[in-house]
Amino acid sequence: MHWVWLVPLLPLAGFVLNGALALVRPGAKRAVSVIGVGVLVAAFAAAVAVVADLAATRPAGPVVFTYWDWIPVGSLHVTAALQVDPLSAVMILVVTGVGSLIHLFSVGYMGADEGYARYFAYLNLFVFFMLVLVLGASFPVMFVGWEGVGLCSYLLIGFWFDVTANANAGKKAFIMNRIGDFGFLAAMFLLFQHVGALDFVTVFAKASTAFTPGDAAVTAITLFLFLGCTGKSAQIPLYTWLPDAMAGPTPVSALIHAATMVTAGVYLVARANLLFALAPVSSAVVAGVGALTALFAATIALKQWDIKKVLAYSTVSQLGYMFVGVGTGAYAAGVFHLATHAFFKALLFLGSGSVIHAMHHAYHRTHSPEDAQDMRNMGGLKQYLPWTWVLMWIATLAIAGIPPFAGFFSKDEILGAAFARGASQPVWYVFWFLGLAAALLTAFYMTRMMLYTFHGPNRTGERERAHLHEAPAVMTGPLAVLGLLSLAGGVLNLPPLLGGGAWLEHWLEPVTRAAAVHLPAAETAPGTEWTLIVLAVVIAGLGIVGAIRLLDPAALVPARQAPPETGLGKVLANKWYVDELYDRLVVRPLAWCSRVVLWKGIDQGLIDGAGVNGSAAVTRALGWVGSRLENGEVGFYVVCFVVGVALVLRAVLR
Amino acid sequence: MSAVTAVFWIFAALAVLSAVLCVSRRSPVASALWLVVAMFSLAVLFVLLDAQFIAVLQVLVYAGAVMVLFLFVIMLLNLGRGAAQDRKGVIGLTVGVVLAALLFVQLRFLRQAAPPALIRLPDGMMAQLQQQQGMVGAVATPLYQAYLVPFEITSVLLLAAVVGAVVLAKRKL
Amino acid sequence: MLLGDALGVAAVLFVIGVAGVLVRRNAIIIFMCVELMLNAVNLTFIAFAQTLGVAGQIFVFFVMAVAAAEAAVGLAIVLAVYRHQDTVDLRRINLLKG
């Protein structure tokens, strides 16, 4: 286990090497591929070894490896330390495992790109920061990773930065994340003020005594932490960057904006579960925002035509589910959904990448300027991309929550926990209901996506059709592995009701044990549980069937000729005009303030005008006054002389 | 009022009057002559104050030599009549008069002060000294004994002044 | 004695001299007002000599000598300036300007 430092360091080495290659020899694609994928696979192997060791020894508490003294200032003692415990074990497996598959996929997807080496360098750097985030033993170390993944997200979203829109998307992501980071920082400051330390072991040991359940301090801290989560994990109100982030390469969307970075917020709440359990108001806020976001994003996904945008809003929605889970106190359920979501969402994104790759190739060959990502230009692709088709259907069934696919178990556990909590706090029934409605919509829009993309007549065009073909093995291989995980991933945490041993829940018990004391007991009768399960499955099935019945792929026309949206459809297609609202409320006043008040007013007027030029003018004026004194007239000098004598006499005679 | 006091006040008034006239005349010659009258009056005051030797010196040196020198220079520069704009304007006048009055107010305080009893010598001491050593001797004895060095330095100063005046007044060096 | 009165007269003479220096523009007349001020000071010394010793009169002696020297040199300077500027008006003699 003490080799845990290898896990983040290998990707860092990959970044250094690939970065050097990007600068010196960008054409050495084979070397880049070997290094880029190799370090990830090695890191995964190291992670497996660490987790195996952890499983064998099963220590009571987290194992902390301290490497050096980072910030010894006064009473604050932050060390550069990594922590191995059940939660971080799950995370590193997910990150390195899914990460390796995505790196492998990228070899095929980005193979023709000029910035290949730069891409892999950034991707490796991202994995390094993400591992620091989940392995960090204290809030500041985690924050380093937090910020780092934000940086890499910016670099990768704006990967093709010569297109202004891509650069803007990167900026948007970074800036919105910064708002969340302010929350994280404020929480750290308050935490230090109340507890006096920032490393997890000390904080969680002292939390029960330092805070009384429900008091203002811990509520403030957790709300600030959650602000950070809304930024990083794209919840209301800071979610608008995620759909824009689809401007980056598709594997990036898969890795960062589906499987790993956006789950950092969920990880944070799971890590700080004791604090959230001590602040029931904050937990309710977390669950409420999660539920609302789940439904809200699902409504927008109903009317998106860009295949990646559908998946982006789907991610926002599923992240909402995770927050419902951790907000309710079902931390294991939230983390379970995090893992299963990583599997099927990565599969969905990579599958869409495969589709886009094929569409691009076709349009490139015929020099057509059509949009390769618009579903209205697709259709009937199942005969051209059969593997992708099958695997994406597996992922769709998983995300819809159809048993026995992975998503069914995780989603159901979250909804069950929410319903159970409703017995002691009725507002949770509302959250449960929102989650259920979102499940219906999820099934519907995912089926819609599959129908429009793979079924019905093909709308790509006569000449392009000839060039459509399945992705190479290096791309479909990872898809297959993810497909398997989406299919079988449910075994990780089979509920006792269905005869399982709830492995993940028991595995995470050392982490969640302390919080369990403060949570209301939530047991539901088996009968109610079965009813809920059946209800969830029925709802999901309803969504799928409804989509098949109500939607007619044959009625679609290619994107260029498509009629504009009207009515409610228009509102949904325009994302409920939230971006426009933010622009009006926040961006424009801020820009105005910066330009008029800060720049013209303060910088030019006050600092330049009064400060710099003003002091020069005053000096010149004083100098002019002084120069009047030396006019060479003796008579004037004599007058000054006599005045001086009078003053001296006056002073002396006092 | 004794005779001394009467004479004192007559000549004091004369001194002040001629001083005012000296300051206010337009013609420099007139100013110089009024200054001579003021010096003569001051010489009388000196006599009343038991400084007879100094009084004679005042007439001889000040009124006799210095003022004559002034008149020589005035004549030399042909400034007899006096220019029209010799005095300053209204502002200058006001400033000058105000400042002078201010100074006078402050000097009044000095006038009311008396030297402390410790260093004050008995009345009539001067007269007694003059009787003992003679009028000239009363001044000369300390001059050539206690104040010999200043005396010699003054003579050097006079020499320097002569040389300086000659050099400065030359037309061509 | 006559000390207080003499001091008063001396003060008045001095102030008149100051007023003259401030008010007049002709260099020579200003000089003469300075002489007037010196005379006032002499009167002060003589007045004090009665109570504080003969040193007062000795001082007057020296003052006179120095005043004479100063008058000589000063008038020589006025002459030199007159040769240059052709005036003794103080407003014109402002070569020290700046």
Shared domain for B72 and B9, answered yes or no, is yes
Provide, rounded to the nearest whole percent, the portion of chain B with pLDDT above 90.
46
In the A/C pair of chains, how many CB contacts fall below 8 A? 28
Strands A76-84 and A63-73: antiparallel
A596 close to C (CB below 8 A): no
Spell out the SS3 assignment of A552-586. Answer: CHHHCCCHHHCCCCCHHHHHHHCHHHHHHHHHHHH
Q: Which residues of C are less than 8 Å from A631 in CB distance?
A: 94, 97
Shared domain for B74 and B9, answered yes or no, is yes
Residue A93 pLDDT class (50, 70, 90 cuts): very high
The reply to whether B113 falls in a domain is no
Record: contact A653-B106, CB cut-off 8 A: yes
Give the tens place of pLDDT for each residue, A24-78: 887 888 888 899 999 999 999 999 999 999 888 888 888 899 999 998 888 888 9
The reply to whether B103 falls in a domain is no
Record: contact C22-A631, CB cut-off 8 A: no
Q: Which of B22, B49, B82 is the last residue of a domain?
A: B82
The residue to which tokens 């709802």 are assigned: A539
**CA-to-CA dists, residue B80 to A396, B25, B74, C86, angstroms:** 123, 12, 7, 15
Residue type, B90: V
Q: CATH number for the domain including B47? A: 1.20.120.1200
The mean pLDDT of A377-401, rounded to a whole number, is: 88
Q: What does chain B come to in residues?
A: 173
What is the rounded end-to-end Cα distance, in angstroms, of chain C? Answer: 52
**Beta bridge partners of residue A76, listed in sequence order:** A73
Give the tens place of pLDDT for each residue, B111-124: 666 666 666 777 77
The reply to whether B114 falls in a domain is no
Record: contact B35-C36, CB cut-off 8 A: yes
The reply to whether B27 falls in a domain is yes
Q: Who among B88, B103, B110 is closest to A642 (CB)?
A: B103
Q: Which of B53, B82, B111 is the last residue of a domain?
A: B82
- Domain containing B26 equals 1-82
- A215: three-class secondary structure by DSSP: coil
In our burial notation (b when 16+ CB lie closer than 10 A, e otherwise), range C31-69 reads: bbbbbbbbbbbbbbbbbbbbbbbbebbbbbbbbbbebbb
ipTM of the complex as predicted: 0.91
Name, in order, each residue with C-beta under 8 angstroms of A282's C-beta and a sequence gap of 6 or more: A218, A219, A222, A223, A226, A276
For residue A47, the number of C-alpha atoms closer than 13 Å in the C-beta half-sphere is 32
* Region of poorest pLDDT, from A392-406, A411-425, B97-111, B117-131: B117-131
pLDDT at C14 over 90: yes
Record: contact B103-A639, CB cut-off 8 A: no
What is residue A262's DSSP assignment? G
B161 close to C (CB below 8 A): yes
- Across all residues in chain A, what is the average pLDDT? 88
Provide, rounded to the nearest whole percent, the portion of chain A with pLDDT above 70.
100
Q: Which residues of C are less than 8 Å from B32 in CB distance?
A: 32
Residue A70 main-chain phi, psi, to 5 deg = -95, -55
The mean pLDDT of A547-565, rounded to a whole number, is: 79
Peptide bond into A237 cis (omega under 30): yes
Give the tens place of pLDDT for each residue, C41-74: 999 999 888 888 888 899 999 999 999 999 999 9
* Distance separating alpha carbons of residues A318 and A439, to the nearest angstrom: 9
The mean pLDDT of B75-90, rounded to a whole number, is: 71
**Beta bridge partners of residue A79, listed in sequence order:** A69
The reply to whether B102 falls in a domain is no
Token pair listed for A519: 């949570």
The reply to whether B99 falls in a domain is no
A643 close to B (CB below 8 A): yes
- A283: three-class secondary structure by DSSP: helix
- C89: three-class secondary structure by DSSP: strand
Mutant choice from B33, B48, B66, B170 vs C, greatest count of C C-beta within 10 A: B66
- CB of A203 within 8 A of CB of A197? yes
Closest CA to A487 of A396, A382, A351, A385: A396
The mean pLDDT of A361-384, rounded to a whole number, is: 83
Which B positions 38-77 lie with beta carbon below 8 A of chain C?
38-39, 42, 45-46, 48-51, 53-54, 57-58, 61-62, 65-66, 69-70, 73-74, 76-77
The residue to which tokens 């504009």 are assigned: A564
Token pair listed for C19: 């007023």
Record: contact A639-B106, CB cut-off 8 A: no
Closest CA to A490 of A413, A417, A557, A416: A413
* Distance separating alpha carbons of residues A215 and A205, to the nearest angstrom: 18
Question: C45 CA to chain B: closest CA distance, Å?
Answer: 10
| Ramachandran category for residue A234: left, alpha or beta (phi over 0 → left; psi -120 to 50 → alpha) | left
- A551: three-class secondary structure by DSSP: coil
Peptide bond into A495 cis (omega under 30): no
Determine the angle formed by the axes of helices A331-365 and A406-422, rounding to 10 degrees. Answer: 140
Token pair listed for A533: 């399960």
The mean pLDDT of A576-586, rounded to a whole number, is: 87
pLDDT at A294: 93
pLDDT at A607 over 90: no
Give the tens place of pLDDT for each residue, A140-164: 999 999 999 999 999 999 999 999 9
**Beta bridge partners of residue A602, listed in sequence order:** none
Q: Pick the most confident of A2-11, A453-462, A517-526.
A: A2-11
Question: C28 CA to chain B: closest CA distance, Å?
Answer: 8
pLDDT at A600: 82
Give the tens place of pLDDT for each residue, A288-312: 999 999 999 999 998 888 999 999 9
pLDDT at C11 over 80: yes
Higher local confidence (pLDDT), B69 or B116: B69
Record: contact C57-B54, CB cut-off 8 A: yes
Shared domain for B69 and B4, answered yes or no, is yes
* Distance separating alpha carbons of residues A163 and A172, to the nearest angstrom: 15
* Region of poorest pLDDT, from A86-90, A445-449, B82-86: B82-86
Give the tens place of pLDDT for each residue, B6-65: 999 999 999 999 999 999 888 889 999 999 999 999 999 999 988 899 999 999 999 999
Shared domain for B2 and B68, answered yes or no, is yes
**Beta bridge partners of residue A65, listed in sequence order:** A82
Spell out the SS3 assignment of A16-47. Answer: HHHHHHHHHCCCCHHHHHHHHHHHHHHHHHHH
Record: contact C19-B35, CB cut-off 8 A: no
Name, in order, each residue with C-beta under 8 angstroms of A540's C-beta and a sequence gap of 6 or more: A400, A401, A402, A408, A439, A440, A442, A443
Domain count, chain B: 2
* All domains in chain C, ordered by first residue: 3-85 (1.10.287.3510)
pLDDT at A9 over 90: yes
Full-model pTM: 0.73
The reply to whether B124 falls in a domain is no
- CB of A461 within 8 A of CB of A373? no
Shared domain for B7 and B71, answered yes or no, is yes
Record: contact C22-A642, CB cut-off 8 A: yes
- A84: three-class secondary structure by DSSP: strand
Residue A120 main-chain phi, psi, to 5 deg = -70, -35
A642 close to B (CB below 8 A): yes
pLDDT at B113: 64
- CB of A281 within 8 A of CB of A275? no
pLDDT at B81: 66
pLDDT at A225 over 70: yes
The reply to whether B6 falls in a domain is yes
Q: Which of B42, B66, B82 is the last residue of a domain?
A: B82
